[in-house]
Amino acid sequence: MKIASYNVNGVNGRLAILLRWLEDAQPDVVTLQELKAPDERFPAAALAEIGYEALWHGQKSWNGVAILSRVGSIHETRRGLPGDPDPAQSRYLEAAVNGVLVAALYLPNGNPRPGPKFDYKLAWFDRLIDHAATLMASGAPVVLAGDFNVMPTERDVYKPERWQDDALFAPEVRARYAALLAQGWTDSLRHLHPDETIYTFWDYFRNAFARNAGLRIDHLLLSPSLAPRLVAAGVDRDVRGWEKTSDHAPTWIELAEPGGDGDPLV
């Protein structure tokens, strides 16, 4: 089972890119972020034409998350975080798909720091940590997938010294990501590639992609009941090089079937 996360940076403006990638990569389940479209403008029909059912939580001009599946129905379990400090922002969607609970999330950017946007980022992260603890306690197979807007370590950012004042690399934000992992979540990409330089985002400016001046801010976190099934993880870096593409690249994992060789505990 292949699960991917992709910040599309405008689902309608980059629909051709999204459809091309889906047909090339054939992920089974996908979480999308930054739809930048109200619910009525989500391109469900175009996705259905290539075999993907969709569930979405849109917002005009900003934010927005979705879950796609080509391996069965999507059963919504939650829309928005409990106690969300600003429920008008569409940043969290959760559903059961093919035996896995999938959470699509788009954590606030938080810049400028300090300020109200940074305060909102910390408050939202706190709500995510609280809800993640509830999911963890359930024992369910869960993946938290999306744009977390945090580089967890210096290995996850090109020239970290330049990011010391940025909300994506702030000590308070990195500490919250560490607290999330401390609940027992597995950072899939880093778990399988502990020492590699891997990025998921490259700015449009200063020739960042060609220089590989990137950030790793898109993550797929697995609960303990799901982590033993992890067999592969990567980034479709080439998609970032396509014309008129998003500034993010799709990030993905592959899970063995329950009871398979990649699932020794089941």
Q: Could you list the active site residues?
A: 106, 147
Please, which residues have CB within 8 angstroms of residue 91's CB and are 6 or more apart in sequence? 63, 65, 80, 81, 84, 105, 106, 107, 108, 124
Q: Report the distance separating Cα 198 and Cα 54, nearest Å.
A: 29
Closest Cα to residue 189, out of 225, 158, 144? 144
Are 101 and 67 in contact by the 8 Å Cβ rule? The answer is no
Specify the DSSP class assigned to residue 89. Answer: S
Q: Is the peptide bond before 160 cis (omega within 30 degrees of 0)?
A: no
Q: How far is CA 46 from CA 6, 104, 226, in A?
A: 17, 20, 31
